[in-house]
């Protein structure tokens, strides 16, 4: 499995993890979504630069 496949699986799990449907995560607000968004932006930049 390539690094791109591993990153895709991690991102999918992160997106599932930020969905505020569980009672313990309702009070978190937008912080988890912002963190995952930042990771996605960094990965897109690295893909465009050819580093991944």
Domain map (residue ranges) of the chain: 3-49
Residue among 39, 8, 36, 12 at smallest CA distance from 28: 36
Kindly report, residue by residue over 15-41, the tens digit of the pLDDT. 777 766 667 666 776 666 777 777 778
Longest dimension (CA), the chain: 40
**Site of tokens 């699986």:** 9
pTM above 0.75, yes or no: no
Are 32 and 18 in contact, with CB atoms under 8 Å apart?
yes
User: 1 pLDDT band (50/70/90 cuts)?
Assistant: low
- Give CA separation, 43 vs 12, 18, 26, 27, in Å: 13, 18, 27, 28
């Amino acid at each position: 499995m390539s690094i791109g496949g591993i990153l895709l699986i991690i991102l999918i799990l992160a997106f599932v993890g930020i969905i505020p449907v569980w009672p313990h995560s309702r009070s978190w607000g937008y912080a988890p979504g912002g963190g995952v968004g930042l990771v996605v932006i960094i990965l897109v930049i690295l893909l465009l630069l050819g580093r991944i």
